[in-house]
Chains A and B, each alone.
Chain A
Amino acid sequence: MAAALVGPKEGMMARDPYEPSGSARPLSRRVFLARSAGAALAVSGAGTLLAACGKPEPSRPSAAGPQLASPEHPVTWPIAGDNQPIADGLEPERDAVLKIYNWTDYIYKKVAVDDFQKKYKKYGVKVQISSFNTMDEAIAKLRTGQVDFDLFFPTYDRLGKIIQAGLLRPLNHSYIPNIEQAWPVFKNPFYDQQWRYSVPYTIYTTGVAWRVDKVHEDVAKLANPYEALWHERYRGRVGLLDDYREAISMALLKNGITNLNTGDPKQVDVAKQDLLRLAKAVKPLVNVKDYVDLPEGRTWITQAWSGDMNNAQYYMPKGQDASVIRYWFPADGRGSVGNDLVAVLRSGKNPVLAHHFLNYMLDFDVAMENMGWNGYQPPLTKATPDQMVGDEYIPKTLATTVVLPQDFDKGFRQLELPPEADNLWNAAWQQFKAGA
Chain B
Amino acid sequence: MASSTHVGGSPLPPTPPQKQGRRRRSTSGIRYPRWFWPLFAAPGMLWLALLFVLPVYVVLAIAFGTIDPLFRTPVPTWYPAWWDTTQLRVVLDNIFGPGAYLGPAFVRTFVYVACASALCLALAYPVSYFVARYAGRRKVFYLLLLIAPFWISYMMRLLAWVNLLSTDGLLDRVLVGAGLIGSPVNWLDGRPVTVVLGLTYGYVPYMALPLFAGLDRIDANLLEAARDLGASRARTFWRVTLPLSRQPILAGLVITALPMFGDYFTNDLLSGSPSTSMIGNLINDAIGTPGQAIQGAVLVVLLLVILLLPMLWYVRASNREGAR
Contacts and interface: CB of A to CB of B under 8 A. Distances in A.
A40 B296 CA distance: 13
Given A49-B58, A236-B186, A436 B104 contact: yes
B293 interface: yes
Contacts of A287: 268, 272
Nearest to B54: A49
Contacts of B39: none
Interface stretch (A56-64, A380-388, A395-403): A56-64
Nearest to B278: A435
A48 B75 contact: yes
Interface residues of A, number: 57
B290 interface: yes
A182 interface: no
A4 B133 CA distance: 54
Nearest to B269: A18
Contact of B189 (A34, A60, A236, A419): A236
A423 B293 CA distance: 12
Contacts of A286: 272-274
B291 A419 contact: yes
B37 interface: no
A63 B86 CA distance: 27
Contacts of B274: 279, 284, 286, 432-435
Contacts, number: 156
B321 interface: no
B27 interface: no
27 contacts: A18-B159, A18-B269, A33-B288, A34-B264, A34-B288, A37-B284, A38-B287, A41-B293, A55-B79, A56-B77, A58-B70, A59-B69, A61-B70, A66-B70, A140-B71, A164-B70, A237-B189, A285-B273, A286-B274, A297-B168, A422-B291, A423-B291, A430-B282, A430-B292, A435-B273, A435-B274, A436-B104
Contact of B71 (A38, A57, A165): A165
B273 A56 contact: no
B188 A298 contact: yes
Cβ-closest 10 pairs across A and B: A236-B189, A436-B101, A435-B274, A283-B190, A37-B287, A435-B277, A431-B101, A285-B272, A33-B288, A56-B75
A183 interface: no
A57 B105 CA distance: 35
B83 to A, nearest CB: 11
A413 interface: no
Interface string A133-172: 0101001100100000000000000000100110000000
A14 B167 CA distance: 20
Interface centre among B70, B78, B79, B290 (most CB of A within 10 A): B70
Given A38-B287, A298-B188, A430-B286, A283 B69 contact: no
A41 B281 CA distance: 16
Contacts of A423: 291
A164 to B, nearest CB: 7
Interface string A233-277: 001110000001000000000000000000000000000000000
Interface stretch (B13-21, B60-68, B225-233): B60-68
Contacts of A164: 70
B285 A433 contact: yes
A429 B275 CA distance: 13
Contacts of B168: 297
A283 B288 contact: no
A279 B276 CA distance: 11
A361 B268 CA distance: 36
Contact of B277 (A16, A298, A433): A433
A237 to B, nearest CB: 7
Given A165-B70, A286-B272, A435-B275, A33 B284 contact: yes
B285 A20 contact: no
Nearest to A134: B288
A60 B69 CA distance: 8
Contacts of A49: 58, 76
B74 interface: yes
A45 interface: yes
Given A279-B274, A432-B274, A435-B275, A58 B66 contact: yes
Contact of B62 (A18, A41, A58, A436): A41
Contacts of B70: 58-61, 66, 161, 164-165
B108 interface: yes
Interface in B257-279: 264-265, 268-269, 272-277
A53 interface: yes
A41 B73 CA distance: 9
A429 B65 CA distance: 23
Interface string A280-312: 000111110000000011100000000000000
A434 B268 contact: no
Interface in A41-100: 41, 44-45, 48-49, 53-61, 66
Given A56-B66, A284-B273, A136 B73 contact: yes
B167 A297 contact: yes
Contacts of B293: 41
Interface string A404-436: 000000000000000100110010011111111
A429 B277 contact: no
A355 to B, nearest CB: 27
Contacts of A34: 264-265, 268, 284, 288
B289 A426 contact: yes
Contacts of A430: 101-102, 282, 285-286, 289, 292, 295
A434 B273 contact: no
A434 B289 contact: no
A279 B65 contact: no
Nearest to B84: A56
A57 B275 contact: no
B156 to A, nearest CB: 8
Given A59-B71, A139-B71, A279 B275 contact: yes
A431 to B, nearest CB: 4
Contacts of A297: 166-168
B155 interface: yes
Contacts of A143: 71
A30 interface: yes
Given A44-B74, A297-B166, 14 more contacts: A41-B293, A45-B62, A49-B58, A49-B76, A164-B70, A236-B190, A237-B189, A285-B190, A422-B72, A426-B289, A426-B290, A426-B291, A433-B281, A434-B105
A164 B71 CA distance: 10
Contacts of B71: 59, 139-140, 143, 161, 165
